[in-house]
Structure 1
Amino acid sequence: MRRTPPIRVLSRALSIAAATLLLAACADTAGDTAQGTAGCEAYQQYGTFKDKKVSLYSGIVAPEDEPHINSYKNFERCTGIQVEFQGEKEFDTQVQVRIKGGNPPDLAIFAQPGLVKQLVETGKAVQAPDTVVANVKKFWSESWQGYVTVNGKVYGAPLGANVKSFVWYSPKEFKAKGYTVPKTLDELKTLSEKIAAGGQKPWCVGIGSGDATGWPVTDWMEDMMLRLSGPKAYDDWVNHTIPFNGPEATGALDAVGEYLKNPAFVNGGLGDVKSVASTQFQDAGLPILQGQCSLHRQGSFYAQNWPKGVNVSPDGDIYAFYFPSKDDTSKPVLGGGEFVVAFSDRPEVKAFQTFLASDTWANEKVASTPGGGWISANTGMDASKLTNPIDKLSAQILQDPKSVFRYDGSDQMPGAVGTNAFWKQGTNWVTGQSTKATLDAIEAAWPK
């Protein structure tokens, strides 16, 4: 997932020192675990506890919560710490209510770096202990480290990751019609024109998502910003050191418009251009299965939306290719992920937080998700253990040293922009509003 500078692996001495500090912190609460400690060598560094509990709050709900809960079983057995996992659909709202009300969880899993920074600024988040910092620096690139670093201090650890720079397609259709996977943006445009010339709308697109309608537009635009202006301009745009309505953003949204607002390119099997706004994002790629469109840009998580029985593989009914760059000299990758942040500094909380930042947990999580659908940018994750073809493809992209990873921009922006004006104005843009009016309105929403 990166062009970012090489990961700085800490010395063995630092790792041992960090583990020693954690063991010392845990010594006064240490005790024998009731279940036994056979096969617990990898967990000895976290210490042993008696009758200690740690609460973990998340937006991950049943049945997706089961792999998470299972990934902590060995940790619980070997350390004696009981993890109380709670998932809630209204997490984004309720976690802030709980924190402001003085009832925060010990740990919480966030998908938005912007919210993490907001909570740090309130003084509620707890700075990560040295053991967590050591793992974060050991197993993640500098770009990922930056998403949990505020004012030079680390406040959490990355967990899962996803790749958003994907285009879904039918390998069987490509083989039958002689299409080839494009390697550059020019080739992507040429392929789209070739499909359209054959009498079929090449793209199927949907941005509907209830109160969050419009977010797929932000992903399209962010991918284009990365490709046309580069990671430095992308970072400046996300941080508002260049205006939201500047020439870089204008060029990116206009480039998206060449696809999403082009009646020759959309909306295969779904309607005209305006149907892009009314089509639910979950349904938007399905016309590929009926041969009504050929291409659908959506992240790796979209793999869960294909109906049961659909063969998702390089030679199957459906697969995905990397959304190509401007040329073959760069490989920008847009993605998202999760981060765990603490609101307590008890020894047992530090121990569990350190475990979540380790390669041990990343591999336990892979093992507890046999059906696939989860990966991490943790370099200690053994990609050879992945079984899902899309997971394998995502990991290959994430671990490619040529890749330049950047986190979803709207998730880093202030809420008034990233999860409000950007979504709403993007929807207005799809249904006819001009690029200038759209970007001017979003710029005006930026907090002064």
Structure 2
Amino acid sequence: MSRLKVTAALVAALGVVTACAAGTTTPGPDGKALSGQTVEVIGPWTGDEQLRFEQVLAAFKDKTGAEVRYTPAGDELPTVLQTRVQGGTPPNVALVAQPGLVEQLAKAGSVKVVSSEVEKAVTEHNAGVWKKLGTFDGQLYGVHFKSANKSTVWYSEKAFGAVGAEPPATWEDFLKVGRAVVDTGQAAVSVGGADGWTLTDWFENVYLRTAGPENYDKLARHEIPWTDPSVREALATLGELFGDSRLVEGGATGALQTEFPQSVINVFGDAPKAAMVFEADFVASVIRTSTKAKVGEDAKFFKFPAIGGSEDAVVAGGDMAVQLKDDQATTELMKFLASPESGRVWAKLGGFLSPNRSIPVDDYADDVTRELAKQLVDAGDNVRFDMSDLAPAAFGGTKGAGEWKALQDFLANPKDVDAAVQRLESEAAKAYQK
């Protein structure tokens, strides 16, 4: 999900802030080992998320005595981070949403291999897939601290009640419920097609369930082409929804003009136009801030439906902590972020999910978040990271280009699967060669 961008002036101002972590391990006057040392962290979080993360950092200070400065970079984080690295003023720690960027930084020698203690914590507290996501050339560089469950469909309890529907467990039942809703005069699903990233999430969930985790991994690495029959099958399945203008609010034209927040409001606002919206757990935040609906009562969710008897699986996003300086205070902060102790601080504040299975589910702030966290952890190694975030940004993360644009074109004409796969492969081939 796109985050609020900080202004260029703010980024420039923040860019001059540098960490000054001292090398001494002599306890300060308060008796804490890291007193007098300072660590700088760059992260994507602004607003309420920033305030909550700063409470996590305050807990680290209380424990160790180290000062922590937080630099919010919003959507500009990759650019800000790379500029700081190239300019010789890297932060101590950065929270990065793109494993591809972490791999790039690792190959350039800009991020450090984590300590054995951090690696032990990651192994102990997370499913193996999360360790694998932070491992490049056999060495672990990152700790996944905050995650998003991107395999959820949110629905209006009122709309489902009007047709006597239960949350569907299969794709067939999902379409069946949608058609029943259409008969009441509402659309089935609101699609935020103006934001191309939402369409990548749709595709990834369908592909994971039709092609399986092994093919998902291959496609993410471009080891199989986007013209592969497995891609065609996934797009044809997705076309069963996108190709029925009655099911999609506003049809393809309307969906392509709908941004993500509006797609949520279309379901839970004062004048609802659809019964369901697909997206990650952060839908709840939009519901709370932009509608009068109550999450867990008026607004509920179900797992992305199984397709062809597929096993439960979760497409996830998230932010990986990486270490750019090699000193005691930085290493101790990485250990803290890898521990359940840090995640428990934010979990109790709300708006947080973690792949850390050692965080008690009761620590999460509400029933909805507890269920989302449980699904993420229970999926174990059937979790797959957001494929577009694994891809080169030119293909998987550029507005109006690459995968985003190709899937928008597919939404406009879902019957032409051949044109879609050819466009996707052409764009992927160019991006992966760079």
Tell me the TM-score range normalised by the shorter chain. Answer: 0.7 to 0.9
How much has 1:167 moved relative to structure 2?
Answer: 0.8
Partner of 1:253: 235
Q: SS in structure 1 opposite 2:317? A: strand
Q: SS in structure 1 opposite 2:342? A: helix
Matched, 1:390 2:368: yes
**In 2, distance between residues paired with 1:419 and 1:72?**
29
Partner of 1:266: 248
Partner of 2:389: 411
Partner of 1:240: 222
Work out whether residues 356 and 377 of structure 2, in 8 Å CA contact, stay in contact via their aligned partners in 1.
Answer: no
Matched, 1:29 2:10: no
How much has 1:305 moved relative to structure 2?
Answer: 0.7
Matched, 1:333 2:319: no
How much has 1:391 moved relative to structure 2?
Answer: 1.0
Work out whether residues 160 and 374 of structure 1, in 8 Å CA contact, stay in contact via their aligned partners in 2.
Answer: yes
**In 2, distance between residues paired with 1:351 and 1:116?**
20
Q: SS in structure 2 opposite 1:157? A: strand
Q: Which amino acid aligns with 2:281?
A: S
**In 1, distance between residues paired with 2:162 and 2:178?**
16
How much has 1:224 moved relative to structure 2?
Answer: 0.6
Matched, 1:324 2:305: yes
How much has 1:234 moved relative to structure 2?
Answer: 0.8
Deviation string 1:185-234 (CA, Å, 9 cap, x unpaired) is 121122122222444321111122xxxx3111111010011111111111
Partner of 1:41: none
More deviation, 430-439/187-196: 430-439
Correspondences of 1:130-141 after superposition (within 5 Å): 130-141=116-127
Work out whether residues 159 and 181 of structure 2, in 8 Å CA contact, stay in contact via their aligned partners in 1.
Answer: no
**In 1, distance between residues paired with 2:47 and 2:65?**
25
| Matched residues, number | 400
Aligned equivalent of 1:435, options 408, 417, 420: 417
**In 1, distance between residues paired with 2:305 and 2:341?**
33
Q: SS in structure 2 opposite 1:283? A: helix
Work out whether residues 284 and 296 of structure 1, in 8 Å CA contact, stay in contact via their aligned partners in 2.
Answer: yes
How much has 1:350 moved relative to structure 2?
Answer: 0.6
How much has 1:329 moved relative to structure 2?
Answer: 6.1
Q: SS in structure 1 opposite 2:39? A: strand
Q: Which amino acid aligns with 1:413?
A: A
Deviation string 1:357-410 (CA, Å, 9 cap, x unpaired) is 11111112223x2xx210101011111121223311211211225772111001
Work out whether residues 362 and 380 of structure 1, in 8 Å CA contact, stay in contact via their aligned partners in 2.
Answer: no
Partner of 1:6: none
Deviation string 1:314-351 (CA, Å, 9 cap, x unpaired) is xx111111111125661011111110001111111111
Q: Percent identity?
A: 27
**In 2, distance between residues paired with 1:322 and 1:157?**
26
Aligned equivalent of 1:146, options 96, 111, 132: 132
Partner of 2:182: 196
Q: SS in structure 1 opposite 2:252? A: coil
Partner of 2:90: 104
When residues 201 and 310 of structure 1 are mapped into structure 2, their CA distance, relative to the original with a 3 A threshold, is: closer
Aligned equivalent of 1:312, options 295, 298, 307: 295
Partner of 2:4: none
Q: SS in structure 2 opposite 1:320? A: strand
How much has 1:82 moved relative to structure 2?
Answer: 0.5
TM-score of the two chains, using structure 2 as the length reference: 0.88
Q: Which amino acid aligns with 2:259?
A: Q
Q: Which amino acid aligns with 1:139?
A: H
Deviation string 1:278-331 (CA, Å, 9 cap, x unpaired) is 111111122223342111111111111113542111xx1111111111256610
Q: SS in structure 2 opposite 1:274? A: helix
How much has 1:33 moved relative to structure 2?
Answer: 5.0
Partner of 1:78: 63
When residues 206 and 27 of structure 1 are mapped into structure 2, their CA distance, relative to the original with a 3 A threshold, is: closer
Partner of 1:225: 207
**In 1, distance between residues paired with 2:424 and 2:394?**
9
When residues 33 and 330 of structure 1 are mapped into structure 2, their CA distance, relative to the original with a 3 A threshold, is: farther
Matched, 1:62 2:47: yes
**In 2, distance between residues paired with 1:223 and 1:320?**
15
Matched, 1:94 2:77: no
Work out whether residues 201 and 265 of structure 1, in 8 Å CA contact, stay in contact via their aligned partners in 2.
Answer: yes
Deviation string 1:155-198 (CA, Å, 9 cap, x unpaired) is 01110111111111112332343111111112112212222244
Partner of 2:114: 128
Q: Higher helix fraction: Structure 1 or Structure 2?
A: 2
When residues 328 and 255 of structure 1 are mapped into structure 2, their CA distance, relative to the original with a 3 A threshold, is: closer
Q: SS in structure 2 opposite 1:282? A: helix
Matched, 1:113 2:108: no
**In 2, distance between residues paired with 1:327 and 1:430?**
23
TM-score of the two chains, using structure 1 as the length reference: 0.85
Q: SS in structure 2 opposite 1:321? A: strand
How much has 1:103 moved relative to structure 2?
Answer: 1.6
Q: Which amino acid aligns with 1:242?
A: I
When residues 277 and 401 of structure 1 are mapped into structure 2, their CA distance, relative to the original with a 3 A threshold, is: closer
Q: SS in structure 1 opposite 2:40? A: strand
Q: SS in structure 2 opposite 1:83? A: strand
**In 1, distance between residues paired with 2:363 and 2:35?**
33
Partner of 2:359: 381
More deviation, 53-62/187-196: 187-196
Q: SS in structure 1 opposite 2:332? A: helix
**In 2, distance between residues paired with 1:126 and 1:327?**
43
Partner of 1:3: none
Deviation string 1:38-65 (CA, Å, 9 cap, x unpaired) is xxxxxxxxxx123100110011113320
Aligned equivalent of 1:344, options 307, 325, 338: 325
Work out whether residues 166 and 300 of structure 1, in 8 Å CA contact, stay in contact via their aligned partners in 2.
Answer: yes
Aligned equivalent of 1:161, options 139, 142, 147: 147
How much has 1:432 moved relative to structure 2?
Answer: 3.0
**In 2, distance between residues paired with 1:396 and 1:146?**
21
Aligned equivalent of 2:378, options 396, 400, 410: 400
Q: Which amino acid aligns with 1:29?
A: T
More deviation, 434-443/68-77: 434-443
Work out whether residues 205 and 260 of structure 1, in 8 Å CA contact, stay in contact via their aligned partners in 2.
Answer: no
Work out whether residues 163 and 181 of structure 2, in 8 Å CA contact, stay in contact via their aligned partners in 1.
Answer: no
Q: SS in structure 2 opposite 1:443? A: helix
